[in-house]
């Protein structure tokens, strides 16, 4: 039989006395062997209790990778691994017993193992044989097995950290004293150490700025946030000078650290980040170049009410964020004075007041207040006109929809596999599509286009509102699809994806956003480690190629995301202005400007990034001349794959005695055959000399060769 620990386990002495009594008085059941055909991850070979695990105190962690409660105990296991090693006699084995069909795949489990940085062996109990044999009933459950295979202790749910650490400490001492502990290695081989480097690692969420020119990416696996143009030019990388290391620290962009950031939302020059595993909301200020914590303490909380100022209020696993009007508001006087938070850890929706604002039933809250908006905290799919009687099941994505007929917050409720909405004015929660009529049934999932509860999702993580079409687009993550939801008709249909993970289509997409003109959709294609750009009219899809600045890592853009004095700043650090031989002209002369680009052999223009040029006149002080002073009104254009040549014509009419020149600027994005992408900028200065003695030129020819 398996026994639970007594209530008082506060000392090693009591634990050892309990173990002594347990082993003497009871004929403890033995752990059964794992199925020989079962698949193992993070280790060199299969493990068995008769061989590799014999002589070890073994902690079995029964988990499923979708489960937020399972994620919550991973730090407890990490702390235990730091305190007790294999040599000390402790081995942790993750027993993955899937909830969702998608989670039965070892490839998908492996992605989760790497994403969560799990550093112990994991076995795919795909048919739940060990689960049923041991009578496990919920996730997570920890089962402790003695060095002879005896079942010692079962801990159900999260929140048992101290009991776990004390029991393991006492058990190791007890078994070492009796000579039953072995210090041999079991043969771990961590998958994360062998994955190739990539620009993104399991990106979770994306958002656009108000002008639709800049994209914010939660580079979740690298524990950082990236700001880039919609063409992929990286403006800022925020999250540690060394990069890729988790932590909880405010400061400059190089000093600051995140831990698995997910939701992102942008207001002006401020980005709000759901710093999920730090249990905090962080603020990135692009003007001051600083990161500050605005909510949460960095430690997981269990409060389900809130009401304190942000940095004094503990929270639990914020996953999605969205900006919108305050709860109880009836007008759009302040359309973004609240940050709504999908609090996955407590199965609720919270609101962080960015300004003083209204609350339900005529109430109000001060700026900085963090308070529950909807959800009782029970993990259910319960709809109710009273916001605190409704219940969610791991809400993970949010989208605010304001129209003539709607003022609501749409929710991707992942564990109930549904899309739901919360009325902003009243807090009433209603079903839209998916799930089941029984609020306790969290297993009503599938992949079915349809209406109401007949439609089925599988663990959706993201939603985005399309105001032009009055519908939602949903990241149906475990179905590897994007689906369209019509809220008025309560219907859903597949927009993109074929239901299987595909490196060229989708693999567990986690987030999405839609451009202001409703022409493009950006998808965080999580397990493919890319951002996809989708034309919403043609459904054509491209990968966003991220291109680092050639200069420094500092921002080179204005508040609208446009390059500042664009190419001049990029090239001045790397390449000086190229002086072109003078061109002799006469007054009021027609000239043609031709620009020819030569790419290195085997290279091609970067897909999804537009190579541009611009030309204008400058005077002796290098100041750009106004149209009234120059015959060359600033011209601009783009290069295409079909033509590496651009041309324009103008009539030169010098109105100043000082010498004038034409400056040609360009930025070119291109990729090598091996996939490495580059950006190259250049400036050519062409002096224009008015002369009556030398025959005038009829054209200005710029020929530029790009280099690797």
On whether residue 477 sits in a domain, the answer given is yes
Choose between 634 and 500: higher pLDDT. 500
The 3-state DSSP class for residue 690 equals strand
On whether residue 3 sits in a domain, the answer given is no
Decide if pLDDT at 148 tops 50.
Answer: yes
On whether residue 2 sits in a domain, the answer given is no
Q: Which band of pLDDT confidence, cut at 50, 70 and 90, is reported for residue 573?
A: very low
Decide if pLDDT at 195 tops 50.
Answer: yes
Please tell me whether residues 146 and 207 are part of one structural domain.
no
| Boundary (domain end) residue, out of 496, 529, 544 | 544
Angle at 527 between CA 524 and CA 533, to 5 degrees: 30
Asked if 227 contacts 214 with a C-beta cutoff of 8 angstroms, the reply is: yes
Asked if 281 contacts 275 with a C-beta cutoff of 8 angstroms, the reply is: yes
Asked if 619 contacts 656 with a C-beta cutoff of 8 angstroms, the reply is: yes
Return the pLDDT at 29. 87
Least confident of 41-45, 183-187, 210-214, 628-632: 628-632
Helices (H), 249-328: none
The 3-state DSSP class for residue 239 equals coil
On whether residue 432 sits in a domain, the answer given is yes
Count of CB atoms situated within 10 Å of the CB of 79: 13
Return the pLDDT at 80. 96
Asked if 309 contacts 368 with a C-beta cutoff of 8 angstroms, the reply is: yes
On whether residue 571 sits in a domain, the answer given is no
pLDDT tens digits along 318-368: 999 999 999 999 877 778 899 999 999 999 999 999 999 999 999 999 999
The token duo for 192 is 């994360």
Please tell me whether residues 389 and 367 are part of one structural domain.
yes
Return the pLDDT at 661. 79
Choose between 681 and 538: higher pLDDT. 538
Instruction: CATH number of the domain at 130, please.
Output: 3.40.30.10
Mean pLDDT of 47-68: 97
Please tell me whether residues 87 and 135 are part of one structural domain.
yes
pLDDT tens digits along 418-461: 999 999 999 999 999 999 999 999 999 999 999 999 999 999 99
Decide if pLDDT at 511 tops 80.
Answer: yes
Mean pLDDT of 398-402: 96
On whether residue 337 sits in a domain, the answer given is yes
Of 204, 106, 260, 230, nearest in space to 527 by CA: 204
Please tell me whether residues 533 and 653 are part of one structural domain.
no
Please tell me whether residues 248 and 364 are part of one structural domain.
yes
Cα first-last separation, the chain = 68
Angle at 582 between CA 580 and CA 588, to 5 degrees: 125
Decide if pLDDT at 562 tops 80.
Answer: no
Return the pLDDT at 458. 98
Mean pLDDT of 27-48: 92
How far is 284 from 337, CA to CA, in rounded Å?
17
On whether residue 360 sits in a domain, the answer given is yes
| Boundary (domain end) residue, out of 147, 169, 193 | 193
Mean pLDDT of 92-109: 97
Q: Which band of pLDDT confidence, cut at 50, 70 and 90, is reported for residue 569?
A: very low
Please tell me whether residues 129 and 22 are part of one structural domain.
yes
What are phi and psi for residue 653, nearest 5 degrees? -130, 85
Please tell me whether residues 500 and 606 are part of one structural domain.
no
Least confident of 144-153, 159-168, 378-387, 653-662: 653-662
pLDDT tens digits along 589-642: 677 888 898 898 888 888 767 788 888 777 655 555 544 334 555 677 788 776
Name the DSSP class of 621: T
Please tell me whether residues 498 and 597 are part of one structural domain.
no
Asked if 296 contacts 281 with a C-beta cutoff of 8 angstroms, the reply is: yes
Residue partners of 408: CB distance under 8 A and separation at least 6? 400, 401, 421, 422, 423, 424
The token duo for 678 is 């580059």
Return the pLDDT at 7. 42
The conformational region for residue 268 under phi > 0 = left, psi -120 to 50 = alpha, else beta, is left
On whether residue 549 sits in a domain, the answer given is no
Return the pLDDT at 678. 76
Decide if pLDDT at 478 tops 60.
Answer: yes
Number of structural domains, the chain? 3
How far is 666 from 17, CA to CA, in rounded Å?
77
Q: Which band of pLDDT confidence, cut at 50, 70 and 90, is reported for residue 243?
A: low
Return the pLDDT at 550. 37
Task: Give percent helix, percent strand, percent coil of the chain, each to the nearest 5.
Answer: 15, 40, 45
Instruction: CATH number of the domain at 380, please.
Output: 2.120.10.30
Across the chain, what does the average pLDDT equal? 87
CA distance to 19, 22, 172, 531, per residue, from 15 (Å): 6, 10, 11, 51
| Boundary (domain end) residue, out of 193, 209, 226 | 193
Report which secondary-structure segment, H or E, holds 214.
strand 214-219
Helices (H), 84-187: 106-115, 129-133, 161-177
Which residues constitute the domain of residue 646? 577-705
How far is 215 from 213, CA to CA, in rounded Å?
7
Return the pLDDT at 653. 58
Helices (H), 560-635: 566-574
How far is 415 from 640, CA to CA, in rounded Å?
46
Please tell me whether residues 257 and 388 are part of one structural domain.
yes
Least confident of 140-154, 424-438, 668-682: 668-682
Return the pLDDT at 2. 37
Mean pLDDT of 543-553: 63
Q: Which band of pLDDT confidence, cut at 50, 70 and 90, is reported for residue 171?
A: very high
Please tell me whether residues 336 and 361 are part of one structural domain.
yes
Please tell me whether residues 446 and 367 are part of one structural domain.
yes
Please tell me whether residues 489 and 633 are part of one structural domain.
no
Decide if pLDDT at 567 tops 70.
Answer: no
Return the pLDDT at 552. 32
Decide if pLDDT at 654 tops 60.
Answer: no
Long-range contacts of 479-485 (CB under 8 A, 24+ apart): 479/102, 479/447, 480/102, 480/505, 480/506, 480/507, 480/508, 480/509, 481/447, 481/506, 481/509, 482/506, 482/509, 482/512, 482/521, 482/523, 482/534, 483/449, 483/457, 485/419, 485/432, 485/433
Choose between 681 and 425: higher pLDDT. 425
Mean pLDDT of 481-498: 97
């Amino acid at each position: 039989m398996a026994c639970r620990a007594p209530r008082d386990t506060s000392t090693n002495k009591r634990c050892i006395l309990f173990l002594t009594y347990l082993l003497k008085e009871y004929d403890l059941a033995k752990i059964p062997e794992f199925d020989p055909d079962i698949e193992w991850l993070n280790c060199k070979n299969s493990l068995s209790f008769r061989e590799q695990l014999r002589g070890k105190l073994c902690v079995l962690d029964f988990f499923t990778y979708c489960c937020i409660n399972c994620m919550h105990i991973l730090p407890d296991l990490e702390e235990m691994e730091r305190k007790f090693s294999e040599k000390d006699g402790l081995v942790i084995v993750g027993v993955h017993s899937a909830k969702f069909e998608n989670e039965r795949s070892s490839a998908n489990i492996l992605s989760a193992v790497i994403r969560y940085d799990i550093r112990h062996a994991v076995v795919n109990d795909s048919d739940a044989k060990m689960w049923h044999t041991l009578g496990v009933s919920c996730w997570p459950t920890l089962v402790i097995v003695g060095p002879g295979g005896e079942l010692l202790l079962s801990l159900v749910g999260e929140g048992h950290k101290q009991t776990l650490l004390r029991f393991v400490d006492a058990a190791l001492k007890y078994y070492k004293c009796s000579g039953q502990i072995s210090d041999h290695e079991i043969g771990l081989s961590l998958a994360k150490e062998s994955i190739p480097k990539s620009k993104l690692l399991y990106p979770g969420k994306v958002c656009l700025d108000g002008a639709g020119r800049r994209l914010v990416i939660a580079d979740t696996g690298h524990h950082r946030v990236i700001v880039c143009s919609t063409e992929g030019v990286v403006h800022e990388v925020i999250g540690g000078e060394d990069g890729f290391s988790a932590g909880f620290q405010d400061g400059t962009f190089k000093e600051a650290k995140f831990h698995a950031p997910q939701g992102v939302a942008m207001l002006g020059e401020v980005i709000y980040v759901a710093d999920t595993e730090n249990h905090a909301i962080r603020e990135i200020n692009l003007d001051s170049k600083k990161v500050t914590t605005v909510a949460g303490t960095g430690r997981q909380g269990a409060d389900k009410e809130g009401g304190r100022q942000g940095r004094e209020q503990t929270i639990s696993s914020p996953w999605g964020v969205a900006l919108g009007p305050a709860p109880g508001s009836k007008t759009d006087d302040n359309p973004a004075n609240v940050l709504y938070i999908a609090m996955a850890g407590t199965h609720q929706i919270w609101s962080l007041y960015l300004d003083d604002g209204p609350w339900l039933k005529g109430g109000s809250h001060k700026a900085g207040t963090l308070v529950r908006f909807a959800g009782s905290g029970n993990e259910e799919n319960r709809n109710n006109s009273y916001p605190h009687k409704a219940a969610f099941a791991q809400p993970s994505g949010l989208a605010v929809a304001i129209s003539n007929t709607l003022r609501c917050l749409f929710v991707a409720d992942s564990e109930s596999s549904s899309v739901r909405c919360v009325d902003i004015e009243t807090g009433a929660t209603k079903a839209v599509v998916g799930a089941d009529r029984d609020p306790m049934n969290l297993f009503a999932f599938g992949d079915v286009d349809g209406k109401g509860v007949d439609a089925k999702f599988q663990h959706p993580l993201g939603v985005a509102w399309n105001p032009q079409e009055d519908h939602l687009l949903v990241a149906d993550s475990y179905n590897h699809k994007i689906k369209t939801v019509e809220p008025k008709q309560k219907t859903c249909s597949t927009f993109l994806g074929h239901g299987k993970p595909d490196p060229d289509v989708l693999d567990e997409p986690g987030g999405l956003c839609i451009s202001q003109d409703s022409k493009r959709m950006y998808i965080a294609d999580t397990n493919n480690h890319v951002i996809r750009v989708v034309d919403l009219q043609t459904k054509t899809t491209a990968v966003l190629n991220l291109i680092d600045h050639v200069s420094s890592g500092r921002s080179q853009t204005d508040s609208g995301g446009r390059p500042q004095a664009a190419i001049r700043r990029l090239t001045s650090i790397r390449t000086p202005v190229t002086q072109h031989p003078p061109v002799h002209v006469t007054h009021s002369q027609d000239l043609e400007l031709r620009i020819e680009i030569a790419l290195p052999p085997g290279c091609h223009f970067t897909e999804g990034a537009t190579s541009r040029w611009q030309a204008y006149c400058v005077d002796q002080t290098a100041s750009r001349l106004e149209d009234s002073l120059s015959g060359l009104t600033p011209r601009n254009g783009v290069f295409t794959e079909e033509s590496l040549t651009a041309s324009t014509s103008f009539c030169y009419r010098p109105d100043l005695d000082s010498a004038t020149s034409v400056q040609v600027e360009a930025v070119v994005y291109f990729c090598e055959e091996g996939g490495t992408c580059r950006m190259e900028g250049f400036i050519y200065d062409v002096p224009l000399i008015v002369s009556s003695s030398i025959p005038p030129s009829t054209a200005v020819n710029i020929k530029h060769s790009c280099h690797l």
